Structure 1
Amino acid sequence: MEKKKVDQLYQHGFQLLEEQIATYIKENYSGISKIEFSPIYIDGDGKFTMRTAYVIPIIYDNYGNKAKLGGRVENTNRVYAKHGLLNGISSLDFDINGNWIIYLDNSANGNQIDVSKYDHLPAKAKLSTNDFIDDNITSLVQANHLKGVFASKDGSSNTLIRYNTEIRWGK
């Protein structure tokens, strides 16, 4: 498969994952001013070494503090998986006809969902709950990395979101 097609598949799959993460945080947390995403980091060749791909969501509170989701939370013993393949995206591949196969791990009903044919996150793929994100944000607040951030049905409607589908290939 040519690299350009693989890059486009990864960019689209991760765009949908980023939309899912950002929408969940924006709709379920107050005190968030901005959410932005790192480039998509891809390592491994998928043949002899397992391919890994992930993004790092970064959330900002209304006081100018920022914290990343996933990885180690400083000043705690908590470590969270990165968002990407194996944690957020359960399938990112091509079928025998070269069509995209994109499945997100979770959806509104709690099951994995096929989003292969969507340009943007469909309503049925929005998260209704996500214990992983909730626990990670709680740890960041408790460790004083974020201030004034709390779970709320009101959400943070004025949150600025910056998606990022740049790909950075590792070795």
Structure 2
Amino acid sequence: AAAGRAAAYLVTNAEGAALHHRHLRERVDDFDPDTRDRFLAGALLPAAWYLRAQAARRAWREEMAGVFRRTDLLVAPCTPCPAPSLGTRYLELAGRRELLRPNLGLFTQPFSCIGLPALSVPLWLPGEKLPIGVQLVAAPWREDLCLRAAQVLAEAGVAEARPGVV
């Protein structure tokens, strides 16, 4: 999973830079600073690193294909922390102080990078004021499993949008 995360980070930065190349040149200040910095780093990524990341991406895709030969659906956290307050820049992660924004996709980015269908649901735990984000991940072309599982959670009253909660 760590190799998948590293590959996803490099690939998405490089591909984001390629996709937004013109806007980065013409309107760089329109980007959120964290996003801008990731895309600029992606634009400077050596080709050899990108190719290694693509190889790791393929290996991660194959590993996940093996997982989905044994199971239908994965349930995983969306983020490594509860919902942060607006303006929060750092979080505690594995005993270290880390930038918040690059790490919010820690658990979602590896699945997204290999094209797996995933759905995030707010999961309410007893006594908590805010939900935790849980992702439901399925094999390629099995979005139906994510949607059905989300419906089951909603019908059970644990995954729902609640008015007035932001």
* Higher radius of gyration, 1 or 2: 2
The TM-score with structure 1 as length reference comes to 0.23
Question: Which structure is higher in strand share?
Answer: 1
